[in-house]
């Protein structure tokens, strides 16, 4: 079945550092891919998405490129801020339902 | 503003009692979902509904029940048969206009059963 694998956390970085959170997937066909972010005590918010191969999703300085050849959708940001501290989830749209990775907790220190 | 409302934010129950979590949306979305989140784990799908009066079991449906009598509402009942009900429960909805449409989430209900 469809599945998503994210790099294990937690990840701790200093402010202004470069961020990469790895995400790979297994699916039939070419599903839409998403990154969601969850701040403490809240639900998930859509961060960005890509719907076909080579698409790049971007939002709030975050980017991810849909790589069909490596079945990956890694999340990157050039300079992180303390306010980026949260849990990040990679997900794919399977048959009418979203399949999530296990989440990566990110902490940014000032 | 359109959105998804889950209530209450915190819920406490004694073991052996059934409890119903509320989820209401005013986004005019056809599809609605319930997920469970446990510490350090991802989201696991409990039930989902593509249309009124129809719903399907997700990956961990045992011990839960749902109804979808109205488009706007998708309540989840946690029954006494659920072995480990203490968790954070998230409701979501999406439009079925496109396969690419994302899920919109509520702010969750944290259920504690003692």
User: What is the pLDDT at residue B97?
Assistant: 79
Q: B17-64: per-residue pLDDT in tens?
A: 999 999 999 999 999 999 999 987 789 999 999 999 999 999 999 999
User: What is the pLDDT at residue B5?
Assistant: 96
Query: What distance in Å separates residue B94's CA from the closest CA in chain A?
Result: 10
Q: B52-105: per-residue pLDDT in tens?
A: 999 999 999 999 999 999 999 999 999 998 989 999 999 999 998 777 888 999
B6 interaction partners in chain A (CB closer than 8 Å): 43
User: What is the pLDDT at residue A1?
Assistant: 84
User: What is the pLDDT at residue B75?
Assistant: 98
Q: A94-104: per-residue pLDDT in tens?
A: 877 889 999 99
Per-position DSSP letters for A25-80, written without gaps between them: EE-SS---EEEEEE-TTS-EEEEEEE-STT-EEEETTEEEE-BTTTTB--EEESS-
Q: How many CB pairs under 8 A join A and B?
A: 51
A51 interaction partners in chain B (CB closer than 8 Å): 100
The percent of residues above 70 in pLDDT, for chain B, comes to 99
Extract the tokens encoding B91: 């409701």
Q: pLDDT below 50 — which residues of chain A?
A: none
Instruction: Give SS3 for B106.
Output: coil
Place of tokens 């409890």: B19
User: What is the pLDDT at residue B1?
Assistant: 63
Q: Select from A9, A2, A6, A29 the least CA-distant residue to A92.
A: A2
């Amino acid at each position: 079945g469809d599945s998503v694998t994210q790099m294990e956390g937690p990840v701790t970085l200093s402010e202004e550092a470069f961020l990469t959170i790895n995400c790979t997937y297994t699916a039939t066909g070419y599903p839409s891919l998403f990154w969601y972010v969850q701040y403490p005590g809240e639900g998930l918010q859509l961060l960005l998405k890509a719907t076909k191969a080579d698409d790049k999703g971007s939002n709030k300085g975050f980017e991810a490129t849909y790589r069909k050849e490596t079945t990956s959708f890694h999340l990157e940001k050039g300079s992180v801020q303390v306010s980026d501290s949260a849990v990040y989830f990679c997900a794919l749209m399977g048959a009418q339902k979203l399949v999530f990775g296990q989440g990566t907790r990110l902490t940014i220190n000032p | 503003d359109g959105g998804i409302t889950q209530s209450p934010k915190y819920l406490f129950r004694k073991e052996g009692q059934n409890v119903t979590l509320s989820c209401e949306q005013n986004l005019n979305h056809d599809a609605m979902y319930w997920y469970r989140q446990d510490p350090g784990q991802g989201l696991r799908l409990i039930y989902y509904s593509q249309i009124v009066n129809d719903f399907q079991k997700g990956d961990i449906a045992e011990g839960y029940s749902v109804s979808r009598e109205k488009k706007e509402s998708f309540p989840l009942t946690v029954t006494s048969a659920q072995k480990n009900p203490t968790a954070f429960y998230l409701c979501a909805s999406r439009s079925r206009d496109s396969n690419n449409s994302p899920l919109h989430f509520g702010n969750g209900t944290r259920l504690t059963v003692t």
